[in-house]
Structure 1
């Protein structure tokens, strides 16, 4: 239970008390921090059910409104989610990629210790749509090479990538092992292209039937869609549509006010 004098140890199922100055922190903050710690240290693993409000009231010795304030903060942070009539559950942590530098997906995820691989859905020459042609500075209808991949993170589908390249470059890429290698790495290390920058556009869309089936999500659920045009010097060489599961992945960016 939370005590109201001096310093206190918050009761928790992990039996690893957190020492807090009660005079400085509201009760709901103490409850929130104790629960957050137990979520982050694995005491409550992803998708497990949290104790009921009544159990928390008894364990912490606080009121129901205090427990609800603490749970509300954790829900806003994305650490838990609520199911009507069933209670609170621990959210699955989202993988993330920083947009502060240009990286391939596998390259970015490897830094965090994630396992990645891809299934190549198709690799073929197609006629450039007006949008693709405008991005790659070619004629509408001109032949380009399209590569579609279903990408996996820790053996779960995470994104569908649809990429367009100048024809000869795409044909060369299709000969490589795209199941385990990033296209950016191939472009730079094998084909000698110095990737310099990319233009990005992000939006949320609803998954259609095909996308939902590929990503193993419900049709109509939110998906993060990125358009990315990557340059080698001043030449655009890679235009992509990237569709990420909104429940499992996020992008992060630090913005300075200067």
Structure 2
């Protein structure tokens, strides 16, 4: 038996499952790669078929792999795990994970702020804000649709920026000489609308994960809201990890 499994007191199926998850997350196994057969896992690790089957069944249930009858098990297009203890741009996050980020601009125009947007940006209801809608891609696959809002009063002429080609966070920092400091995040499950279905290739009414985030920056030693964004993720491609410490 492999020392990787023999030295651990966890059940065999769990050890094998975690081993495969590590291989997927480290990109040793990539999207649509075929996994070894049950027999190959048995021979390699000196275990019976029962724990191998349990490991593969749980991996399928948790959307790590998919099975094709008569052909085998394959790696599902992987989810992205974002950690809640680090504030970086989408592109920085995705590149750090070894993936290729991408974006497509859907809409960029000035609108009147609704109550939620005004509250998050600390402006008046009805104030003018720049609305930027973008599709985000990871390795050329649709990952999310983002609705971002910026205060025109706080960022004059921000509408002149071509957000089809730049990182929003980097452009704000460079153009307005501001430092991003922190963000607040709220996650909730929502149903896919007809507009989202068109862009995310989902059925109307199917579940999505919505993240509302307000990002803050410091300019002239004063902290102010920089951006309010509603992000709608395809749920099987996103996980959010938060590390909690006891005070």
Shared fold by TM > 0.5? yes
The alignment covers a number of residue pairs equal to: 243
Pick one of 110, 118, 135 that aligns with 1:125: 110
CA distance in 2, matches of 1:78, 1:130: 37
How far 1:227 moved relative to its partner?
A: 0.8
Gap runs ≥5 in structure 1: 1-7, 10-17
CA distance in 1, matches of 2:118, 2:22: 51
Pick one of 186, 199, 202 that aligns with 1:201: 186
Contact 1:81 1:91 in 2 (8 A): yes
SS at match of 1:247: helix
1:256 aligns with 2:245: yes
The range that moved more, 43-52 or 130-139, is: 43-52
Root-mean-square deviation (Å): 3.6
**What CA deviation, in whole Å up to 9, does each residue of 1:85-128 have, x standing for no partner?**
99754322222322212222112222233322322222212111
How far 1:214 moved relative to its partner?
A: 0.9
How far 1:222 moved relative to its partner?
A: 2.6
The range that moved more, 82-91 or 132-141, is: 82-91
SS at match of 1:196: strand
Pick one of 158, 163, 167 that aligns with 2:148: 163
User: CA distance change for structure 1 residues 168 and 87 in 2, over 3 Å: closer, same or farther?
Assistant: same
How far 1:168 moved relative to its partner?
A: 4.3
User: CA distance change for structure 1 residues 59 and 234 in 2, over 3 Å: closer, same or farther?
Assistant: closer
Residue of structure 2 in register with 1:222 after alignment: 207
Relative to the length of structure 1, the TM-score reads 0.74
CA distance in 1, matches of 2:105, 2:54: 47
SS at match of 2:91: helix
Gap runs ≥5 in structure 2: none
**What CA deviation, in whole Å up to 9, does each residue of 1:124-182 have, x standing for no partner?**
12111121222222222222221111222222222211111112456633322322322
Contact 1:96 1:251 in 2 (8 A): yes
Contact 2:214 2:228 in 1 (8 A): yes
SS at match of 1:120: strand
User: CA distance change for structure 1 residues 57 and 121 in 2, over 3 Å: closer, same or farther?
Assistant: same
How far 1:224 moved relative to its partner?
A: 1.7
The range that moved more, 127-136 or 214-223, is: 214-223
How far 1:244 moved relative to its partner?
A: 1.7
